Structure 1
Amino acid sequence: MPILNRFALGLAALLAFSTPAHAYWEYGHETVANVAWLQMKPETRAKVAALLRQSKLLETPECPARTLAEASVWADCVKPLDERFSYAYSWHYQNVNACKPFDLKEPCKDGHCVSAQIERNARLLANSKVPVREKVMALAFITHFVGDLHQPMHAGDHADLGGNKVAANYGYVAGRTNLHSIWDGYLAERAISTPPADAAGLLSQVPASDRMSIAQGTVEDWSREMWGKARDLAYKTLVGDPCGTEPVGRPTLSEAQVQALIPDLRKSVVDGGIRLARLLDDALGPDHKAPEAKR
């Protein structure tokens, strides 16, 4: 084969394997939000739309929240806005040790973790006395945080910042990524864009009876599930024993491993959207249901 043809084929393979159209903080979050939009009750959709029409009250023109998809990335967008939202930095994750029994008490001390903030913002949405501006912010926060929780590297940790300290290669993308980034971006984009793609495609593969089952449980139940995926899928696939010695050099997530992980990652995204829809149906419904505050 001529050298030029071999180069062209190699470049095509590289691009097909490694280039994400969007990172999880966009594509993943937006897809979770769009699944929720399709799944929620029509009356909930109307109430969500009414709140989003008031999104200018947030006074963050550089970070719009006019649609649920825009609202899903608002909590990341506002991070650079000086100190206005610095208090929320630790709300995007929970460092639950993947090598110890599951326990949220210490990682969620004083409510500073993603699951506690999902519950808090659900209560704000359910409370009829909360001002509209705070409800809009609660809607943006909960939409983002449910997405965060369903990215396993935000739910499980091994004293490595959710895999940020685990240097890794994603196929041909060598020497410049890590375990967290793989799950946030490269792998998420690959999974969500695999046909049937995007929110409608993902949701089309889940029967109505399964959606009801997925929506059940508590935020703590979902946290335990995602923590398990961090341990048994994310860490184990890349480094073998997630609780053993650190790998030498940069382990590589191969194409075969990517293919094996795609169904699980697609499930996490669609589960997140279905569960977000349930939380919004509960909070904005006639009974204004929300998780009770921890005592």
Structure 2
Amino acid sequence: MRFLPVLLAVVGLLFSAPAHAYGFFAHGRVAEIALLNAQPETAARVRAMLRRTPLLETPTCPALTPDGASVWADCVRNLGQRFSYSAPWHYQNVDICRPFDPKTACRDGNCVSAQIDRQVKLLQDRSVPAREKVQALVFLMHFVGDLHMPLHAGDRGDRGGNDVDAAYGAYKPEWLNLHAIWDSPLADRAITTPPSIVRRYDAAEEAQLAAGTTEDWSREAWAVSRDVAYTLALGDPCGPKPTARVQLDEAEIQAAIEPQRLQVQRAGLRLARLLDEALDPAKAFTPEPRRR
């Protein structure tokens, strides 16, 4: 394996601590793709709503910009009990060694795909106060990225790869694990590999990549977790638990780049679609009064 010293220096600076979900750069690029491809009216509404994020009263987790909004949901996890309820909303670790079964991993709506659907409905509901709508927007901007991070969608009882110590080429700090690699260094390398995926897509590309439901997207990400993330790291994705640090060499990293790029593209274009649907005035509704 050959890694330029400057690459290692940059990786060391950017990834000196474990991440909870897609890193800042990846989440930000998902948001950027989304706003480039959403309807202009939608993008304007999103930016107007982000200017109201001080209503959330989280000054240590600003969300005034798309980049800030895209990682707000991770930032507020550090605010103690206030947002602790949202911790299971970032993932749904469906067993990759059994038939796809999202319901088991999504009891009572406490999983990422159910929360994506919920945030869209909150944004469409005319009775929801402004503060809650703003919060629904920043949750949605984050959770769509999380769902497309393969190790948030499928695992083998190892906390989404957090329990699999791993090395990314020559980069092997003690805290690094398989989950963290897919969160940040691999995601960042995939996104910055030419040609750029942060762009305006044509109608045919958008229709193909943004299609499906949250369950379809869950299944796709679960399959990438099994067939790419765990297979490259372990050989047999359902084999014995590794007893030593897993090594991803340059060939394995290269094999993961295109699947990772595709997941970020999908996330950005699907977020664009959901924002269009959530903020379309024609799709707003007023819930019927609850009957006794």
Whether these two folds match at TM > 0.5 is yes
Map of 1:15 onto structure 2 = 8
- Does the Cα contact within 8 Å between 1:19 and 1:186 map onto a contact in 2? no
Matches of 2:70 and 2:228, distance apart in 1: 25
Amino acid paired to 1:12: P
1:1-28 Cα offsets, whole Å, 9 max, x none, are xxxxxxxx97727627954746732011
- Does the Cα contact within 8 Å between 1:20 and 1:185 map onto a contact in 2? no
1:205 is displaced (CA, Å) by 8.7
Amino acid paired to 1:99: C
Map of 1:246 onto structure 2 = 241
Number of residue equivalences: 278
1:230-260 Cα offsets, whole Å, 9 max, x none, are 0000000110111111234122101111112
Matches of 1:10 and 1:48, distance apart in 2: 40
Query: Secondary structure at the residue paired with 1:169?
Result: strand
Matches of 1:56 and 1:268, distance apart in 2: 31
Matches of 1:149 and 1:26, distance apart in 2: 15
Map of 2:34 onto structure 1 = 36
Tell me if 1:185 matches 2:184.
yes
Map of 1:160 onto structure 2 = 158
- Does the Cα contact within 8 Å between 1:20 and 1:189 map onto a contact in 2? no
Residues 174-213 of structure 1 aligned to structure 2 (within 5 Å): 174=172, 176=174, 177-196=176-195, 201-204=196-199, 207-213=202-208
TM-score by length of 1: 0.89
> Greater shift after overlay, 256-265 or 29-38?
256-265
Matches of 1:152 and 1:195, distance apart in 2: 22
1:192-250 Cα offsets, whole Å, 9 max, x none, are 12233xxxx20449543121111111011000000000000000011011111123412
Map of 1:226 onto structure 2 = 221
Map of 1:216 onto structure 2 = 211
| 80 and 17 in structure 1: CA distance in 2 versus 1, 3 angstrom threshold | closer
Residues 216-295 of structure 1 aligned to structure 2 (within 5 Å): 216-288=211-283
Matches of 2:74 and 2:49, distance apart in 1: 20
Query: Secondary structure at the residue paired with 2:167?
Result: strand
Matches of 1:60 and 1:20, distance apart in 2: 26
- Does the Cα contact within 8 Å between 1:75 and 1:144 map onto a contact in 2? yes
| 35 and 62 in structure 1: CA distance in 2 versus 1, 3 angstrom threshold | same
Matches of 2:3 and 2:225, distance apart in 1: 32
Residues 45-64 of structure 1 aligned to structure 2 (within 5 Å): 45-64=43-62
Structure 1 runs not aligned, ≥5 long: 1-8, 291-295
Structure 2 runs not aligned, ≥5 long: 286-292
